[in-house]
C-alpha cells in the first residue's frame, strides 16, 4: 500500500528514476526514445527537481510504500492563488490502476484551500491520461503547442476542473 507524503531531498534520485521510467513507457512511441531521453535528462534531473522542494505556494508529493516510490505529483498556485497548475502527476507503469494517481490527485486538490480551479496539460495521444482526467471531472478548455517548459514543441490538451 502506498502512502502519500511530501517529497524531500532524499527522494529526488528516486523521483528522477520514476519520471524516466514513466516517460519512456508513455512517450517513446509518440516522440521516440531519443527525444524522451533528452526531455527526461533536462526536465527531470535532480538539479531541475530540487527547486520545487522549496517553491512557495506549491506541493511536491510522492507515493511511498516504504520500499519504493510508486508515483509523484507537483503543483503550484497562480499568484492570486485561485488557480492550481498541476505540472506533474506520474505513476510507475507497474503501479498504475492501484489508486496511486487518484490518491496523489486527491491530496493535491485539498492542498490549496483558496483555489477555485485546477489546470493541467496532457498529450492528446496519451489516451490513458486523457481518460484518467476525464474520469476525475476535468474538461478540455484549450490546447497548446508548447506543453511544459518554454518552446518545447510538445502539443497538449489543456484540461481544467472546478475545485471546492
The answer to whether residue 102 sits within a structural domain is: yes
Res 149: pLDDT: 66
Specify if 138 maps to a domain. Answer: no
What is the model's pTM?
0.93
Cβ-count burial 96-131 (b if 16+ within 10 Å, e if not):
bebbbbbbbbebbbebbeebeebbbbbbeebeebbe
Is residue 16 in a domain? Answer: yes
Total tally of structural domains belonging to the chain: 1
Span 6-47, pLDDT tens digits: 999 999 999 999 999 999 999 999 889 999 999 899 899 999
- The answer as to whether 50 is a domain residue is yes
Residue 134 lies in a domain: no
Q: Alpha-carbon torsion 126, 129, 132, 138, what sign?
A: negative
User: Which ranges of 2-53 does DSSP label H, i.e. alpha helix?
Assistant: 12-31, 33-43, 46-49
How far apart (Å, rounded) are the C-alpha atoms in residues 9 and 72? 14
Q: Answer yes or no: is 87 within a domain.
A: yes
- The per-residue pLDDT for 108 is 97
Q: Take residue 99 and report the three cell numbers written for it.
A: 489508486
Residue 146 DSSP class: S
Residue 146: the pLDDT is 76
Query: Are the CB atoms for 123 and 155 separated by under 8 Å?
Result: yes
Question: Is residue 144 a part of any domain in this protein?
Answer: no
Q: What is the pLDDT of residue 37?
A: 95
- Residue 142's alpha-carbon distances to 82, 132, 135, 159, 160, in angstroms, are 19, 18, 18, 7, 9
Q: Which residues of the chain have pLDDT under 50?
A: none
The reported pLDDT for the residue numbered 141 is: 97
User: What was the pLDDT predicted at 154?
Assistant: 80
Tell me which residue range forms the domain holding 52: 3-119
Indicate which CATH number applies to the domain containing 12.
3.40.630.30
* Residues forming beta bridges with residue 159, ordered by sequence position: 120, 140
- Residues 62 and 5: beta-carbon distance below 8 Å: yes
Residue 151 lies in a domain: no
Amino acid at each position: 500500500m502506498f502512502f502519500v507524503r511530501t517529497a524531500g531531498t532524499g527522494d529526488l534520485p528516486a523521483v528522477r528514476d520514476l519520471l524516466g521510467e514513466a516517460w519512456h513507457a508513455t512517450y517513446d512511441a509518440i516522440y521516440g526514445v531519443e527525444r524522451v531521453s533528452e526531455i527526461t535528462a533536462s526536465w527531470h534531473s535532480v538539479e531541475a527537481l530540487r527547486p520545487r522542494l522549496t517553491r512557495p505556494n506549491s506541493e511536491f508529493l510522492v507515493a511511498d510504500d516504504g520500499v519504493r516510490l510508486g508515483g509523484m505529483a507537483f503543483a503550484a498556485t497562480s499568484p492570486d492563488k485561485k488557480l492550481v497548475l498541476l505540472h506533474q502527476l506520474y505513476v510507475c507503469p507497474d503501479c498504475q490502476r492501484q489508486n496511486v494517481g487518484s490518491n496523489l490527485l486527491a491530496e493535491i486538490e485539498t492542498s490549496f484551500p483558496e483555489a477555485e480551479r485546477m489546470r493541467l496539460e496532457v498529450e492528446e495521444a496519451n489516451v490513458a491520461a486523457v481518460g484518467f482526467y476525464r474520469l476525475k471531472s476535468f474538461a478540455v478548455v484549450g490546447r497548446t503547442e508548447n506543453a511544459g517548459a518554454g518552446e518545447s514543441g510538445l502539443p497538449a490538451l489543456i484540461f481544467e476542473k472546478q475545485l471546492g
